[in-house]
Amino acid sequence: EPEVTQTPSHQVTQMGQEVILRCVPISNHLYFYWYRQILGQKVEFLVSFYNNEISEKSEIFDDQFSVERPDGSNFTLKIRSTKLEDSAMYFCASSALSGAARNTEAFFGQGTRLTVV
C-alpha cells in the first residue's frame, strides 16, 4: 500500500540552526501539505503546495519557513533559524486531487518530532 514517508523520525537541533524536514509523498499525488502538532495541542495547518508553488499558508507559516519540491519525489520543509517554540511533531501529507472530487483523501506520514534545545 502506498504511503507518505518522512525522515528523520526525530531531530534535535540547537536554537538558531537551520533544519530541513523531508517527506516523500505518494507518487501520483499532486497536492502536498505540512502540518505541525505542538505537544498537547491541536494539529495545525501550515502550508499547501501544488504545481510547484504555495497554494495556501497559515499565519504560522512566516518568513522563517519555506517549502520546496527539489526533485520529482521529495517535498521539504525548511526552518531557517529555529526557535524553542518550533519544537513540535511535523506531519507531511499528500492528496491526489482537490475540490469536489470524492476520492481526495489526504494521506499523512508518521511525522518528524523536532526538538529545539
Partner 1 sequence: AQSVTQLDSQVPVFEEAPVELRCNYSSSVSVYLFWYVQYPNQGLQLLLKYLSGSTLVKGINGFEAEFNKSQTSFHLRKPSVHISDTAEYFCAVSPIWGSQGNLIFGKGTKLSVKP
- For partner 1, the binding residues (CB under 8 A) are 4, 31, 33, 35, 41-45, 48, 50, 55-56, 91, 93-95, 98-100, 102, 104-111
Q: Among residues 18 and 56, whose Cβ is nearest to partner 1? A: 56
Q: Among residues 72 and 99, whose Cβ is nearest to partner 1? A: 99
- Provide the grid cell at 89: 511533531
At 85 the three-state DSSP class reads helix
Cell numbers 507559516 correspond to: 61
**Minimal distance in Å, beta carbon 54 to partner 1?**
12
Q: Among residues 14 and 39, whose Cβ is nearest to partner 1? A: 39
Angle at CA of residue 43, ends 96 and 11, nearest 5°: 90
Distance from C-alpha of 51 to C-alpha of 82, rounded to nearest angstrom? 27
